[in-house]
Amino acid sequence: MSLLVRSCHRWKSLRINAKHHMSHLESVAHFPALQKIDVHILERFDSDYRSDALLGAPRLRHACLHGLGISRIRLPPGVTHLSGSITCPEDLHLFFQLPNLKRCHLGITAAMIATDAPVVTVAQLSHLYVVDAGVLKFLSAPLLSSLAIGRFPVEHWPPSTQESITLFLHRSRCRLESLSVSKAIFTFEATPNRMFVSEARSTISCLKLELPPQMIKGIVEALASPPVLPNLHHLILCISVSRGRLGCHNRHGTLLP
């Protein structure tokens, strides 16, 4: 392994799959060519392990941390694409040290959802995918153009999910163009009017909704009113046709693959 590490100055892409921490890399002070890293460490979230090894990678742009927080694997300020998780308030604070972050895929721990922490503004973020809408209560993204909220077991979703989306959009004041929403967040009282603040209504051009069959009529009727989403050009409805299956239709009714 030591012979391999000696060539680290040439590495452009690195993938680490380990049961424990990255012990072989801790002695490396510099990764001058590294641009992309994928880290999967099978340790518990409450582990005390921390690593600053990647701070010596000035050209790093893409980082995938597989459920780890950036308080555990510190990243250099040039990172533009991040996949990871918010596990503690320190993870949020460290977003300030990633001023160039543009695309993010974020999860969050159940303990963190129940935590009170200040809102963090991610100034350059344009695309955000969140596994759990609970992430949104901690973030503001004024330049966000695309938001996707992933499918999640219904029993794990807080009842205030719709409110979290509304407050996030209002706080961010962004010109959102694309929104994808899981069926898990909808209730029978949900309508686009309740979810979208006025700023988002006027800019959304692409909307994807996953819906149970019993909600189709109400949602479609609400969307048919021009003032709700006046700039909507692309609508995808994914309908639960049977357990574990979704049928997706665009606004012309054609089945999508």
- Asked whether residue 33 carries a pLDDT value surpassing 80, the answer given is yes
Sign of the dihedral defined by the CA atoms of residues 212, 215, 217, 220, in that order: negative
Instruction: Flag the least confident range among 90-94, 103-107, 163-167, 247-251.
Output: 247-251
- Asked whether residue 199 carries a pLDDT value surpassing 50, the answer given is yes
pLDDT of residue 252: 38
Cα–Cα distances in Å, from 74 out to 93, 184, 188, 214? 12, 33, 43, 46
Cα–Cα distances in Å, from 166 out to 31, 79, 127, 205, 219? 42, 28, 17, 17, 17
pLDDT of residue 64: 96
pLDDT of residue 177: 96
pLDDT of residue 254: 32
The model's pTM: 0.85
- Asked whether residue 30 carries a pLDDT value surpassing 60, the answer given is yes
Q: Render pLDDT for 154-194 as a digit per residue (tens, 0 to 9).
A: 545 555 667 788 889 999 999 999 999 886 666 545 555 66
Q: Which residue has the higher pLDDT, 98 or 51?
A: 98
